[in-house]
Structure 1
Amino acid sequence: MRGHPEGNSILHKEKLKMTLPYMIKDDSISPSKKKKHGLSDNLDDSTDKYYTHKSKHFDLTENLLDRSTPDSLGEISSIAHMSEMTMHTTGIRKNRKGDVTFEKAVQRVRGTPDGAEKSFAVKNSNKISQETKEKTKKLLDEELELCTKENSPAIKKHDSIKPLERKKSIKLQIKQAAKKLKGLKTKGNLEKGRNLPKRKLPDASHSMLHDDTMVKKAKTKDMNWKDRRTASRIAKNHYQLIQNSKLIWEQLRKKDLSDQKRIEHCTELYTGVKGKIAEFSLAHDTARMIQCLIKYGTAIQKGSVLDEIKDSIVNLCKSKYGKFVVMKMMKYGNKFQRSHILKQLHGKVVKLIRHKESSEVIENFFAEYATGPQKLTLLEEFYGPSFVLFQTQTAKSLDQIIEEQPNKKEIILSNMKETLLSLIDKEVLLHSMVHRLFFEFFNYAEGKMKTEMIEALREGCVNMVHTREGARAVMHCLWHGTAKDRKVILKSFKTHILKICKEQYGFLVMLAVFDCVDDTKIVQKIILDEILQSLSEIADDQYGRKVLFYILEPRDPVHFHPDVRHILELGDKNLTSKKDMSVRHKELLDQVSPKLIQHVLDNVKDLVFDNTKLLLTLSIIIHVTVDSTAAMEAIADIAAEPFTTGADKMHIVEHHVGHLVIKRLINQDKKRLEKCEEVLFSTMLLEKVPEGSMKSWAACNRGCLILVK
């Protein structure tokens, strides 16, 4: 034991008469063995008397407490930790010489020495728990029996004494179990996969827990899948009500149902689901019933449905099935109900547009049902928190706000940039509302702010070309982006060129590419090659033909509206393009001319009689950079065919489209003569047409017009 801190004490002067089984004069047993076998240095007085009477090998004057005091605090702290039983000092006799009251008081006040560990503090040294005394006595009785039987000192049979076992901690038990399990797996004693036998539930009689909380789970392994499905449905709330409502819904959704029957079924269905509409709108089957009720119900019933869901519209918008209920209410509700839905969404649009499910509701409302002021109200939330908190009675567009308050321009653009950057990598980039915001941002952003946005958006531009504002935003990216940005944008268009060319607004992006991208080689590889592979399909489409017209005759007023030309002119002053526009268009035309003229030769009989392809055919023959004589000869051969009045197939001279092809090709002879070209379509026609055919041409009105030309 530690001993007392300092000085001699009256408590140490008297030798205690105490014996222990291992206290031998020759010190043959080390203290480590004492500790190993769980023997304690502190025993009861009764034990003292017993061993004093029986043993002759122990010194009766040995005192446990009379030990040398450690020289330093380092020695105190290096003492090994002892069990709880050894921490209590026992065996101090009651009858002591001298007055020790003052000595005890000083010791109690002084406490443990500074620096000593808490584990060495002696607490309640004179009080031993009843449990500890019983264990000690039991251990000594076992030792006494062994000594008596073999008639030898107790120390010879000391190894037979088992120490008191401490209870294993839960952590240690888990460790040992995991180690054992690992050993079993290594030896291959555990079966794997499906061959593992199913564990059987223990009987209630063998269970370790004997309380009423253990409930046996219903066995469904003997049921077929239909019965199991029915059992799981019955366990849900409102099962019978849902089943009855489904029967009514099946009748209500029939198209051939009479108006009177439909009203009756709507009333019956509404009576059943009343008060539970918000709950039913979240499930996949019951949500369909609510949608059908909104579609066919009366105005009063629709109003009642809205009253029940008005406080949970935001949660329904985020639900996979509830969002359809909100969209049905937008579609079949009146303008007041739509206005009420908008009020519920106010202040949460920025948050909802980022959500996968609710973004569809916001986009549906913005694109289909919102009025002009309502659209501006939705967009205002992206301009900054102040526009949400201090909403004016009349919503204003970004143009009006910047015109009235120019000092807010930087703050608005900064807020828009922060919001839009978080939307780039998500599916919401497909929505027209997001495209509108990007278009407004590019209209006013300048310098570094615009450059950073283009760099972030360039890979997602392909998702924006299908709307008006989206296509305009992509055109800004092409005009003001670097050469690297343009290359990335073009690569994102790969395999989508045919679709982009045929879209109402996507074709404008193709025209912007032809205007500003200096690297015509990459334009040919990515864009022109795909166009030429699907040339017939593009030529059949009204927007696809504009792409071909722009390659042949860029910004020709015959083919392009003034508004389209004005939009394209906005990108002429970009700082990235270095090549002259005429040179760029000449290079592109050289790359496509052979394929275009071959297309005319392969389909000449169809093209000269097709009203939609008339101008394209003439433009190809007139503007290609390769020799077009073969195409003109093919048309002259068709004109040289015998002209018979009343034939099944109308002659080209008499046809309302064919005669225009011949007339316009003859008109081009004037320009060819000015350029001193030797090949003239008039001469070619006179050589091909047999003698006497001109007389038959003069017999019809359109033939006479050709002869006049």
Structure 2
Amino acid sequence: MAAKNQQTQKPNKRKQFSSTKTDKDGSKSKKPKLLSSTPSSTNPSNKLLKKPFNSSKPKREHPTHSKFKKSESGNDNKELTKRERRIQAKELAEARKKKRKPHYTLEQELASLWEKMRRRNIAKEDRSKLITEALQKMKGKIPEIAGSHVSSRVLQTCVKYCSQIERDAVFSKLQPHLLTLSCNAYAVHLVKKMFDAASKKQLAGVISSLRGHVASLLRHMVGSVVIEHAYQLGNATQKQELLMELYSTELHLFKDLASIKESRLIDIISKLDLQKSSVLRHMSSVIQPILEKGIVDHSMIHRVLIEYLNIADKSSAADIIQQLSGPLLVRMIHTRDGSKIGMLCVKHGSAKERKKIIKGMKGHISKIVRDQCGCMVLVGIVSMVDDTKLITKIIIRELQTTLKELALDKSARRLLLQLLHPNCSRYLNADGLASLNLTVPSLSSKNESEIKSKKLSRDEESSKEAAKSDIPEENLDEESTKEVATTDSDMEATESGKGDIPEENLNSAEGGKKDPSLRRRELLVNSGLAENLIDVCIENAEELLTSNFGKEVIFEVAKGGSDGILHPTLDEKLNNLHEAIAELAAKPKSDESEEEHVLENFHSSRTIRKLILDCPAFASSLWKKSLEGKCQLWAQGHSSKVVSAFWESSDSEVRKVAKEELQPLVDDGTLKIPETKQSANEN
């Protein structure tokens, strides 16, 4: 039945209508005919639509016309040679330059004099004559031609080698036009040369003339170079005078307010009773255009940013850190304040921002790690950032190719030593350790509302407990104040680093969530850096031991690092390193050789001594291979420090091995040991 119904049912099709409509009589309707495109001859208005025939258009003449025929002589249309065309073009160019440049002839004369006066093998008298002649030619026109590409170079040479009287004359002519010249791409070098050659009085006058224009010049790509140069040359008072203009509108307008002794912005605000919100608005209006243009290379801007972050609220500080996180930060970390900004960005930046910072350093790691300030940013990264895979990929891989040079470099070794022995005051100075603990106040401290809510909750809990234990209401306030005092003291202890968090883990507590020892192991051991570093130490043991900076790296590696981080995995490699050092010490002593023995060298003898005292495994290896039966030979000079270390060692087995041979030397007075250490070992 179902099949039958399907056959009987007809498919519903949509009715199709023809597009043409039929009239009542059945004939199809047609569209009205269009007017003919050809204008009728009867309509006179159509004549106006025709394009008029241009009878004045010249007809194309045939090449055989008499105008194109050569003259009988054939010299009129003769083509010029290449040399003649080149000479003609040069003459035309010279003529155009003379019209365009009013002092073009003078510049050509000065250029010829400059080629003579800038030679190195010229006599001083001849050079002074040429300089005097050049200054005479420029007399009355110095401000006009100072911005020229050629004349500015001539003036720089004149200012450098001329007499003091001539220099003062040039200075007096250019000083009224200082602001204009500071923004010129060519004259800026002349202005810097003037600053370098200026006396103290002239420099003070120049810096005072810049007042009121510091912010505008800092926003200029060329003018910012002049401000930075003046900032570097000025004394502390002059530097403060330049900075004050950027802090507040009041300090910008009134010169007397800027002459206070306080240097920190927080102290200035409190002393002058300035509104913090007004200061923030003014500083943000100064800083934002500078950051948008990317003018972040100057130390003056870095100082302003540090002061801004100290007083900025949470959103403003986070916005600045977000703007700086990336390739822009690489151009800032070469200064002391710029390095601090870099570490603040690493510490308070999000995971995404830290990733941008590290990726922005790609390709520049070897240069950054050798910089005195830049290396501290890398130290902060390996101490705070939890993404060890990214650090290994971008930073560690680039460092592994030049480990020997890094170990011998004064600044670069700090990164290796931070991984081997973190936060050691022997390798990082007080300023470096303090910079690792820097924080932005608004981003690190808790909100007041949160603190108040916690205090209220504690008060409620204490009141409930008091009600349960029937404590009188008079004693409730005392107990609550005690609890608040204890919690406040705990917060102060954690902030100062004296709480439950160890000193080495203080940075990681704020900067990252990963365990510091685990982070170190992943960066040092799992990445293969430690293995490569041990191989470099084995190959260059003598050079590292006798170096002033490399000795510390080889000492930490041979010791196994802080907390023995290298020992479980790389014991075999470390034993090879101990044997390599022992082989160097086992070389015979000879007075004829020019190279100094490692036991007699100042640096290497002290390093080997420390290894004997701190690493018993190395001490036993050195004794068996190098010093057994030869102590009397090395009992004097720098080598005596090495021999006496066996007697002073805190390890009983090391003392026991060497005591039989060293006892006669101590009794004879050949080997001198301090009485305090000798009595301590006897006990």
TM class by shorter chain equals 0.5 to 0.7
CA distance in structure 2 between the partners assigned to 1:467 and 1:340 by the alignment:
27
Q: 1:520 aligns with which of 388, 393, 404?
A: 388
Counterpart position of 1:439? 306
Instruction: Please tell me whether the aligned partners of residues 643 and 693 of structure 1 are also in contact (alpha carbons under 8 angstroms).
Output: no
Structure 1 residues 663 and 311 mapped into 2: Cα distance closer, same or farther (>3 Å)?
Answer: closer
The amino acid of 2:429's aligned partner reads: H
Distance 1:272 1:404, change over 3 A: same
Distance 1:234 1:569, change over 3 A: closer
- Displacement of 1:541 in angstroms is 0.7
Distance 1:683 1:539, change over 3 A: closer
Contact 1:483/1:576 (<8 A) preserved:
no
Asked whether 1:608 is paired with 2:475, we answer no
Are residues 234 and 650 of structure 1, via their aligned partners in 2, closer, same or farther at CA, if it must alter by over 3 Å?
closer
1:549 paired with 2:417, answer yes
3-state SS of 1:543 partner? coil
Q: 1:568 to 1:576 in 2, by over 3 A?
A: closer
Cα RMSD after superposing both structures: 3.4
Residue 532 of structure 1 corresponds to which residue in structure 2? Answer: 400
How has the CA–CA distance of structure 1 residues 393 and 271 changed in structure 2, closer, same or farther, with 3 Å as cutoff? Answer: farther
Paired position in structure 1 for 2:374: 506
Structure 2: stretches of 5+ with no match in the other structure? 1-34, 55-66, 68-83, 440-505, 647-683
Per the normalisation by structure 1, the TM-score is 0.63
Distance 1:659 1:269, change over 3 A: closer
Superposition map of 1:190-209 within 5 A: none
Aligned partners of 1:601, 1:306: CA distance in 2, in Å? 60
Alignment of 1:221-300 (within 5 A): 223-235=87-99, 236-255=101-120, 261-300=126-165
Match of 1:618 in 2: 555
Identity %, equivalent residues: 30
2:408–2:544 Cα contact (<8 Å) kept: no
Residues 414-453 of structure 1: pairs in structure 2 closer than 5 A: 414-453=281-320
Amino acid at match of 1:463: R
1:665-704 equivalent positions in 2, closer than 5 A: 665-669=611-615, 672=616, 680-689=617-626, 693-694=630-631, 696-697=633-634, 700-704=636-640
Change (3 A) 1:239 1:484: closer
State the Cα distance separating 1:450 from its structure 2 match.
0.7
Q: Shift in Å at residue 312 of structure 1?
A: 2.9
8 Å contact from structure 2 (residues 251, 257) kept in 1 = no
Q: Which residue of 1 aligns with 2:246?
A: 382
Task: Give the letter for the 1:412 counterpart.
Answer: V
Q: Give the secondary structure class of the aligned counterpart of 2:246.
A: coil
| Cα separation, partners in 2 of 1:647 and 1:319, compared to 1, 3 Å | closer
Matching residue's letter, 2:577: A
Q: Is 1:349 aligned to 2:214, yes or no?
A: yes
State how far apart, in whole Å, the 2-side matches of 1:393 and 1:270 are.
42
Higher RCO structure, 1 or 2 (CA under 8 Å, sep 6+): 2
**Residue 348 of structure 2 corresponds to which residue in structure 1?**
480
**SS of residue in 2 equivalent to 1:524:** helix
Cα distance in structure 2, aligned partners of 1:689 and 1:296: 62
Give the match for residue 196 of structure 2.
331
- Hey, what's the Cα distance between the residues in 1 that align with 2:208 and 2:618? 70
- Cα distance in structure 2, aligned partners of 1:377 and 1:603: 52
Per-residue deviation, 1:590: 2.8
Candidates 311, 316, 325, aligned match of 1:458: 325
Structure with the largest fraction of helix: 2
Q: What amino acid maps onto 1:346 in structure 2?
A: R
1:319 aligns with 2:184: yes
Aligned counterparts of 1:390 and 1:166: Cα–Cα separation in 2: 76
Question: Higher mean Cα deviation, 518-527 or 224-233?
Answer: 224-233
Which residue does 1:11 correspond to in 2? Answer: none
Looking at structure 2, the residues matched to 502 and 463 of structure 1 have their Cα atoms a distance apart, in angstroms, of 15
Question: Looking at CA atoms only, which structure, 1 or 2, has the larger radius of gyration?
Answer: 1
CA distance in 2, matches of 1:509, 1:335: 36
CA contact (8 A) 1:482 1:576 kept: no
8 A Cα contact 2:244 2:258, kept in partner: no
State the one-letter code of the partner of 2:241.
T
Work out whether residues 409 and 549 of structure 2, in 8 Å CA contact, stay in contact via their aligned partners in 1: no
Q: Runs ≥4 in structure 1, deviation > 6 angstroms?
A: 160-164, 166-169
Partner in structure 2 of residue 577 of structure 1: 512
Query: In the aligned structure 2, how far is the partner of 1:160 from the partner of 1:557?
Result: 107
Change (3 A) 1:705 1:435: closer
Helix, strand or coil at the partner of 2:291: coil
Aligned to 1:594: 531
Q: What residue number does 2:71 align with?
A: none
Q: Provide the rounded CA distance (Å) in 2 between the counterparts of 1:317 and 1:282.
A: 10
CA contact (8 A) 2:192 2:226 kept: yes
Instruction: Work out whether residues 442 and 476 of structure 1, in 8 Å CA contact, stay in contact via their aligned partners in 2.
Output: no
**Distance of aligned partners of 1:166 and 1:340 in 2 relative to their CA distance in 1, 3 Å threshold:** farther
The 5 Å alignment of 1:6-405 reads: 159=42, 223-235=87-99, 236-255=101-120, 261-367=126-232, 369-392=233-256, 394-396=258-260, 397=263, 398-405=265-272
Structure 1: gaps of 5 or more residues: 1-31, 38-157, 174-199, 201-219, 673-679
Deviation at 1:388, TM superposition (A): 2.0
Distance 1:682 1:393, change over 3 A: closer
Q: Once the 2 structures are TM-superposed, how far is the Cα of residue 461 of structure 1 from its aligned partner?
A: 1.0
